[in-house]
Chain A
Amino acid sequence: GESVGLHLPTLSVQEGDNSIINCAYSNSASDYFIWYKQESGKGPQFIIDIRSNMDKRQGQRVTVLLNKTVKHLSLQIAATQPGDSAVYFCAEILSGGYQKVTFGIGTKLQVIP
């Protein structure tokens, strides 16, 4: 399939190491933040979300950190596996009359076996 990661920032990580993917968001009024994983030829897949009143949330092998002071979001993946290779997008959600989802630029994660 085509590469959704063309021209995106790339992070190369050795298998088994931890990965940290960073994202800057724009709207301080956003209610939620989500990390999505997108593999080539597929739509974005939800990984983890965090509400704006939290600063950390953990899932299975993933942790999201939110720093509202500098409008920064990070995704930490523990013990990175080859199946983690994909493009990762952060998204900010502003809930109101509808759910406006604004995606960030994206980072391509390459896991080196």
Chain B
Amino acid sequence: DAGVTQSPTHLIKTRGQHVTLRCSPISGHKSVSWYQQVLGQGPQFIFQYYEKEERGRGNFPDRFSARQFPNYSSELNVNALLLGDSALYLCASSYTPGTGSYNEQFFGPGTRLTVL
């Protein structure tokens, strides 16, 4: 079975540009979460989506947005890129969002974004 897949694997952008990152969850998983991992730090929660709706949002500016499609895949969009947005962007999927109980998340390999 395929795990969580993300595309592209690497991306180079310049300041002010826009970027779209993509994630396909494990088959049967309906919830997708996005994380930002700056080099040398732990992942930081950005968004969680379930059944195409945003269920949770971390402390990130409005330049960050996401959506989930009917097939449960997801896109993360970042506008007006800053140098500080350079990071590994991780997608994780789970069967449910874990409301009231823990539901294991499976992480993809991430997309390495470099902003010049």
Contact, CB under 8 Å: B102 / A49: yes
Q: B40 touching A95 by the CB < 8 A rule?
A: no
B residues 94-116 touching A (CB-CB < 8 Å)? 94, 97-110, 112
Q: A2-B39, A97-B99, A103-B42 are in contact. Are A43 and B109 (CB under 8 A)?
A: yes
Q: Among the listed stretches A5-13, A14-22, A57-65, A66-74, which one makes contact with chain B, having 4 or more residues with CB under 8 Å of it?
A: A5-13
* Number of chain A residues close to chain B: CB under 8 A: 32
> Are the CB atoms of A106 and B94 closer together than 8 Å?
no
How many contacts between A and B, using CB within 8 angstroms?
89
A84 CB–B CB distance under 8 Å: no
In angstroms, Cα B102 to Cα A96, docked, is: 10
Chain A nearest Cβ from B70, distance in angstroms: 20
Near B by CB (< 8 A), chain A positions 32-58 give 32, 41-46, 49, 51
B40 and A99 within 8 A (CB)? no
Bound-state CA distance A4–B4 (Å) is 19
Supply 11 further A-B pairs (C-beta < 8 A) apart from A2-B39, A31-B102, A99-B105.
A43-B90, A43-B110, A93-B98, A93-B102, A97-B97, A97-B99, A98-B50, A98-B55, A98-B97, A98-B99, A99-B33
A positions within 8 Å CB-CB of B:
2-8, 31-32, 41-46, 49, 51, 89, 91, 93, 95-106
